[in-house]
Amino acid sequence: MELTLNQKLSLIQKEFKANKSKYNSFGKYNFRSAEDILEALKPYNEKYQVNFTITESMVESQFLQFPMLRSVASINDDLDTITASAIVGVDLEQKGMQMPQKFGSASSYAKKYALGNLLLIDDSQDADATNKHDKETVVNDKKFLNKNTPEFNKAIEYLKNGGTFSSIESKYKMVKEVREELLKINKK
């Protein structure tokens, strides 16, 4: 018996994991981007014979005081399509950004949240939901060890000078990618 698209999506929602591979140094938190989600979805295209797409459009209304973008994430197979959307505003007053960056930033957020709505990604522990911007984010009493940070570089040096991975692991929480990179150095 062939699975319906609803059944396929339900299985994908249960199996799906996307790493939070990006780091916000201002808020000191890890987050997943739309690109992280899309990359993690690729294996499901073949496994379940589905395709994921994202379309975007401007929201038109005389009552809006600033531009709004609508992003629609879709999953489809040969028979059916299921969609979820997200709407975000474009902050035209954002300092330090060119106009394309302002729209690009809003577009990235809209894509991420449309995909999150489609895949039932719970970001309640994500920094967008808990960001304090003035305090260190701590998970299970450990900070995340992130690539391209002074702490990560110190960890590499520590391992190269004979330090142990378990010592780093006791101090930091790590995503799989960071863990694997440090373990490779530890084995040398």
- Highest mean pLDDT out of 18-22, 74-78, 89-93, 166-170: 74-78
- The average confidence (pLDDT) of the chain is 84
CB 164 within 8 A of CB 186: yes
Domain ranges of the chain: 5-128, 138-188
| Distance of alpha carbon 135 from alpha carbon 106, whole angstroms | 25
Share of the chain above pLDDT 70, in %: 89
Residue 170 pLDDT more than 90?
no
- What SS3 string covers 50-103? CEEEEEEEEECCCCCCCCEEEEEEEEECCCCEEEEEEEEECCCCCCCCCHHHHH
Question: pLDDT (tens digit, 9 = 90+) per residue, 6-16?
Answer: 999 999 999 99
Torsion angles phi and psi, residue 155, rounded to 5? -65, -40
15-29, 76-90, 118-132: least confidently modelled range: 118-132
Mean local confidence (pLDDT), 39-52: 95
**What is the model's pLDDT at position 11?**
96
What is the Cα–Cα distance from 73 to 93, expressed in whole angstroms?
Answer: 28
Residue type, 70: R
Tokens 């009493």 — which residue? 141
pLDDT tens, 112-148? 999 999 999 875 444 444 444 444 433 345 777 887 7
Pick the CATH number of 5-128 from 3.30.1380, 3.30.565, 2.30.230, 3.30.390: 3.30.390
Our CA dihedral for 56, 115, 36, 34, rounded to 10 degrees, sits at 30
Q: Please tell me the predicted confidence (pLDDT) of residue 72.
A: 97
Report pLDDT for 188.
64
pLDDT value for 131: 47
pLDDT in the model for residue 73: 97
pTM for this model (two decimals): 0.63
